[in-house]
Amino acid sequence: MQAQQAACRLQVQAMAPAFATGAAAWAERLGLPLYTGEAELALQVGERGLQLQQLGPQAPGPVRVDFVEGGAAHRRQFGGGSGQMIAKAVGVQPGMRPTVLDATAGLGGDAFVLACLGCPLQLIERQPVVAALLEDGLARAAAHADTALIVARMQLRQGNAIELMARWEGTPPQVVYLDPMFPHRDKSALVKKDMRLFRPLVGDDHDAPALLRAALALASHRVVVKRPRKAPAIEGLKPGLVIEGKSSRYDVYPLKSLKPGG
């Protein structure tokens, strides 16, 4: 992972002198150099929190985690409720808000949707920079009245999900949710700026079959895998149910019936 970060020349940048201490702390924690003017990517520390910025004259805007405003706020207020595909896939129903482990948390968008619906979640993100962005977004949301109770349902851990699931302690989650990075070949699939920025850091999830096996060994009731609509299922056990949308689908691997009190 460090080699991937070095290859794209990622450095930590304070956006103003007041944020120098914070930038130094993140740099030390992540094992990254402070900004020298030579970077292609900058993990920037500023008044809006932590953000990842591609540098250069044609660079898009920064990527940051914001659960308070923007798209997350719209989903929080006007989302599709338990009728959303992800809610159906995970098993949200009257009287049932399953415990969920999002083992490929990324920037936390899907987990936030489920937390808005009342599901208690544990999140794992293995890429340290992505986990840092998510941690920062959760901290800012925890300080805001509109989102504090929602993100209180989201507990983040940074590490390798396969290893963490294998040595899980305590009650297993009822549902394990996976959204592994798919090895896209078509450049049109990379239009989202977060995907363009993160692929050099994260790479493809070539260990997706092992991730699925670990999830199936841990979950008490079901495993849910989010995939591009036309992508093949992950190698291994075939899903028992497929919920398909316009651009994505959810492969569901039922292990035990999810029902209130069950």
Task: Give Cβ neighbours of residue 68 (< 8 Å, ≥ 6 apart).
Answer: 140, 141, 144, 146, 147
Bind-site residues: 125-126, 179
> Binding site for S-adenosyl-L-methionine: which residues?
125-126, 179
Token output for 2 = 């460090």
User: Which SS3 state, helix, strand or coil, does residue 18 take?
Assistant: helix
Residues 6+ apart with CB under 8 A from 137: 49, 50, 64, 65, 66, 67, 107, 108
CA–CA gap between residue 180 and residue 128 (Å, rounded): 16
DSSP E strand boundaries for the chain: 10-14, 41-46, 49-54, 100-102, 121-125, 154-158, 175-178, 222-228, 241-244, 248-254
Which phi and psi (to 5°) does residue 118 adopt?
105, 5
The amino acid occupying position 177 is Y
Return d(Cα 12, Cα 237) in angstroms, integer.
42
- Amino acid occupying residue 74: H
**In whole angstroms, what is the distance from residue 100 CA to residue 89 CA?**
12
Cα-based distances in Å from 129 to 88, 95, 113, 190, 247: 31, 37, 22, 19, 27
